[in-house]
C-alpha cells in the first residue's frame, strides 16, 4: 500500500484556515488535491467530504442550499470538483457573511479562478486561493526509491511518478486524452478535441522558445489571436506556462514576446513520444526538456519571487531571472554535467547589475565555476538558505 506523500501546501492551508472562511485549492486534475484533502480531513473528527462529480453529492447542494447552515457549527466541509457547480460561489456569499467562522469550507477545483466564473470577485475578501501542483522535488527527494532522472522523465503527477516507466507513459497518454475530450468541454469551452490535440502536439516544438503566435497560427491555419486564446486556455488549466520577458529601462533592443513551456515534463515527454532518458537524448529538445523541468520546479518552490527571462536581439540572454524587491538572481539551465557559458550570459549579468549567476545542471555535487558563477544541482539550489534571504 502506497504511503501518503506529504505536500508542502498543507502548511499554507493551515495558515489560510485562520484567515478566510473559504479556501479554494486549485490545480491541474490528478495532481493530488483530493488525496491531500482526504488526508487532512482524516485529522478532523467531524469533517464532511463532498465530490461534485458524484450526482448524489451534487444534489445535496443543488436541491438544498441550507446544507451549509446545517453543517456550520463545528464541521469542516471539503467540496471537490467545484467546477461542476459554478453557482456555488454566489450561494456561499450570503452564508459566509452570516456565519463568520474561518476555515470551515475548503473547495477544490481543476481550473484557474477566471475559468471558475470570477469566483474571486463573487467572494472577494472571503476566499483565499492556494495552488497545488504536481510533486515538487522537496516532496519526493527523500523517498527511498527517488531518482532525479525518473522524476524528470515521468513528471510530477502522483500516479505517473509512482508507476513504472511503461505504465507511467500509458497513464499520461490517457490523461492527455481525457482532459482534452472530457474535462475541457465540461468547462463550457467548445473547441474540437482534434484541434486541441493538434495544437498541443505543435506546441511541443515551441517548448522553451520565444512565442511566435503568427508562425504558430500559420502552421495551424488559424489567426495569431486564436493561438493566444488556445494558450490562455491551457494556462488556465495548468498545462502551459508563459514566462514574461524582463524589461528593465535599458537602452537596448529587447525581446518582448513571452517564452512558452509545458509545466509538467512528463506530459511534454508523452507528447514528444519519448519514454526514457536514452530516447530523450536523441531529440533536439533534450536541453529544452531539462530547462522546462528545472525552471518549473524553481518557480513553484519560490512563489514570492517574480520570474522572467532576459534576451536582447543581439543574443545576450539569461534563461531565468528571479526578482524580489531589489534583489535579482540569474539562472541558466544546462543539461551537460560540465557546462560552459558564452559571453552573452556575462554581458547579461552586467546589463542587469547581477553579481552572481547560477547554472542548474543534473549533477550530484555543486561547485564554483568561476568568481561569478556557481554550477549547482537543482536540490542544492533550492536548499540554499543564504540565497533566498
Phi–psi pair at 133, nearest 5 degrees: -115, 175
Residue 74, all three cell numbers: 463545528
What's the CA angle centered on 162, arms 275 and 365, to 5 degrees? 75
Torsion of CA 217, 221, 226, 230, to 10 degrees: -80
Termini Cα distance of the chain: 40
- Of 131, 157, 188, at which residue does a domain stop? 131
Q: Tell me, what's the pLDDT at 91?
A: 82
**Do 104 and 144 fall into the same domain?**
no
- Of 131, 159, 190, at which residue does a domain stop? 131
Residue 310, all three cell numbers: 532576459
**Do 45 and 171 fall into the same domain?**
no
**Do 147 and 214 fall into the same domain?**
yes
**Do 42 and 114 fall into the same domain?**
yes
Q: Identify whether 3 is part of a domain.
A: no
Task: Give the pairing type, strands 240-243 and 127-131.
Answer: unpaired
CA distance 105 to 71: 10
User: What string of pLDDT tens digits covers the 389 residues of the chain?
Assistant: 467 899 999 989 989 989 999 999 999 999 999 999 888 887 776 788 888 888 888 888 876 667 777 776 677 889 998 888 878 887 888 888 888 788 888 999 887 776 666 566 678 888 899 999 999 999 999 888 899 999 999 999 999 999 999 999 999 999 999 999 988 888 788 899 999 999 999 999 999 999 999 998 998 889 999 999 999 999 989 999 999 999 887 667 788 899 999 999 999 999 999 999 999 999 999 999 999 999 999 999 999 999 999 998 888 999 999 999 999 999 999 999 899 999 999 999 999 999 889 999 999 889 999 999 999 999 999 998 788 87
**Do 66 and 122 fall into the same domain?**
yes
DSSP state of 168: H
CA distance 75 to 280: 49
Domain range for 57 is 9-131
CA distance 252 to 270: 39
**Do 164 and 304 fall into the same domain?**
yes
CA distance 33 to 39: 10
**Do 123 and 147 fall into the same domain?**
no
The burial of 265, by beta-carbon neighbours within 10 Å (0-12 exposed, 13-18 middle, 19 or more buried), is given as buried
Q: Backbone dihedral region of 364: left (phi > 0), alpha (psi from -120 to 50 degrees) or beta?
A: alpha
Q: Identify whether 1 is part of a domain.
A: no
**Do 88 and 149 fall into the same domain?**
no
CA distance 150 to 141: 11
Q: Identify whether 388 is part of a domain.
A: no
**Element at 287 (helix H, strand E):** helix 286-301
Q: Identify whether 219 is part of a domain.
A: yes
Which residues have CB under 8 Å from 309's CB, separation 6+? 243, 244, 245, 246, 259, 317, 318, 319, 320, 321
Residue 365, all three cell numbers: 555535487
Contact 265, 241 (CB under 8 A): no
Q: Tell me, what's the pLDDT at 115?
A: 60
Per the structure, how many domains does the chain have? 2
Give the residue ranges of DSSP H helices in 65-146.
67-70, 88-98, 119-122, 137-140
- Of 88, 108, 131, at which residue does a domain stop? 131
**Do 209 and 109 fall into the same domain?**
no
Q: Identify whether 289 is part of a domain.
A: yes
CA distance 204 to 265: 11
**Do 160 and 297 fall into the same domain?**
yes
Q: Identify whether 4 is part of a domain.
A: no
Contact 313, 253 (CB under 8 A): yes
What is the secondary structure of 334-383 as a DSSP string? --SSS----HHHHHHHHHTT-S-EEEE-S-SS-EE-SSSEEEE-HHHHHT
**Do 192 and 66 fall into the same domain?**
no
**Do 244 and 141 fall into the same domain?**
yes
Q: Identify whether 389 is part of a domain.
A: no
Contact 321, 309 (CB under 8 A): yes
Q: Identify whether 14 is part of a domain.
A: yes
pTM: 0.92
What's the CA angle centered on 275, arms 274 and 276, to 5 degrees? 105
Amino acid at each position: 500500500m502506497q504511503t501518503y506523500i506529504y505536500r508542502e501546501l498543507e502548511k499554507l492551508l493551515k495558515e489560510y484556515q485562520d484567515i478566510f472562511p473559504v479556501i479554494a485549492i486549485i490545480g491541474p486534475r490528478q495532481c493530488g488535491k483530493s488525496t491531500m484533502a482526504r488526508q487532512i480531513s482524516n485529522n478532523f473528527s467531524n469533517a464532511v467530504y463532498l465530490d461534485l462529480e458524484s450526482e448524489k453529492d451534487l444534489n445535496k447542494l443543488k436541491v438544498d442550499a441550507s446544507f451549509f447552515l446545517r453543517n456550520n457549527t463545528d464541521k469542516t466541509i471539503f467540496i471537490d470538483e467545484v467546477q461542476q457547480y459554478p453557482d456555488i460561489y454566489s450561494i456561499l456569499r450570503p452564508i459566509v457573511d452570516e456565519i463568520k467562522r474561518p476555515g470551515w469550507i475548503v473547495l477544490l477545483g481543476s481550473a484557474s479562478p477566471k475559468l471558475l466564473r470570477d469566483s474571486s470577485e463573487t467572494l472577494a475578501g472571503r476566499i483565499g486561493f492556494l495552488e497545488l501542483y504536481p510533486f515538487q522535488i522537496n516532496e519526493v527527494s527523500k523517498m527511498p526509491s527517488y531518482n532525479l532522472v525518473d522524476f524528470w522523465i515521468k513528471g510530477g503527477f502522483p500516479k505517473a511518478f509512482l508507476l513504472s516507466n511503461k505504465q507511467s507513459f500509458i497513464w499520461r497518454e490517457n490523461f492527455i486524452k481525457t482532459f482534452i475530450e472530457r474535462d475541457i468541454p465540461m468547462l463550457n469551452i467548445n473547441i474540437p478535441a482534434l484541434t486541441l490535440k493538434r495544437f498541443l502536439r505543435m506546441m511541443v516544438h515551441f517548448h522553451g522558445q520565444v512565442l511566435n503566435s503568427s508562425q504558430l497560427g500559420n502552421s495551424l491555419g488559424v489567426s495569431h489571436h486564436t493561438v493566444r486564446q488556445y494558450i490562455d486556455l491551457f494556462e488556465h488549466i495548468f498545462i502551459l506556462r508563459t514566462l514574461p520577458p524582463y524589461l528593465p529601462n535599458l537602452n537596448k533592443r529587447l525581446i518582448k514576446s513571452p517564452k512558452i513551456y509545458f509545466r509538467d515534463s512528463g506530459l511534454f515527454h508523452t507528447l514528444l513520444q519519448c519514454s526514457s532518458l536514452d530516447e530523450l537524448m536523441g531529440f533536439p529538445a533534450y536541453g529544452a526538456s531539462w530547462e522546462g523541468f528545472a525552471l518549473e520546479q524553481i518557480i513553484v518552490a519560490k512563489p514570492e519571487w517574480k520570474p522572467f527571462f532576459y534576451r536582447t536581439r543581439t543574443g545576450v540572454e539569461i534563461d531565468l531571472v528571479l526578482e524580489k524587491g531589489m534583489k535579482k538572481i540569474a539562472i541558466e539551465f544546462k543539461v551537460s554535467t560540465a557546462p560552459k557559458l558564452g559571453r552573452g550570459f556575462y554581458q547579461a549579468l552586467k546589463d542587469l547589475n547581477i553579481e552572481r549567476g547560477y547554472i542548474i545542471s543534473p549533477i550530484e555535487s555543486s561547485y564554483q565555476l568561476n568568481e561569478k558563477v556557481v554550477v549547482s544541482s537543482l536540490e542544492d539550489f533550492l536548499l540554499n538558505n543564504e540565497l533566498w534571504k
